[in-house]
Amino acid sequence: MRGTTLLQVQARSTDTGLNNVIRYKISNGGANNELFVIHPVTGKLNILVEVIVRLTNAVFVARS
């Protein structure tokens, strides 16, 4: 998986059998989404670009 993991989403289904399988996807980002990618099984959301966040005196840098 490329990029830096931002978070992991989770869902549960009360269905049984094949209807119990959950897959994740980004549905409103277009096929050429260059910012985020989500793993279809684990639900890990990764960012594909460098992000710099400044919080008061601290600096957080995430690089892919």
Q: What would the pLDDT profile of 9-20 be if each residue is shown by its tens digit?
A: 999 999 999 899
Using one digit for the tens of pLDDT, what is the confidence trace for 4-50? Answer: 898 999 999 999 998 999 999 988 765 667 788 899 999 999 988 87
Please state the pTM of the whole predicted model. Answer: 0.67
22 is in which domain, residue-wise? Answer: 4-62
Q: Hey, what's the torsion of the CAs at 49, 6, 62, 38, to 10 degrees?
A: -30
Please check whether residue 39 is in contact with residue 1, taking contact to mean a CB–CB distance below 8 angstroms.
yes
What's the domain count of the chain? Answer: 1
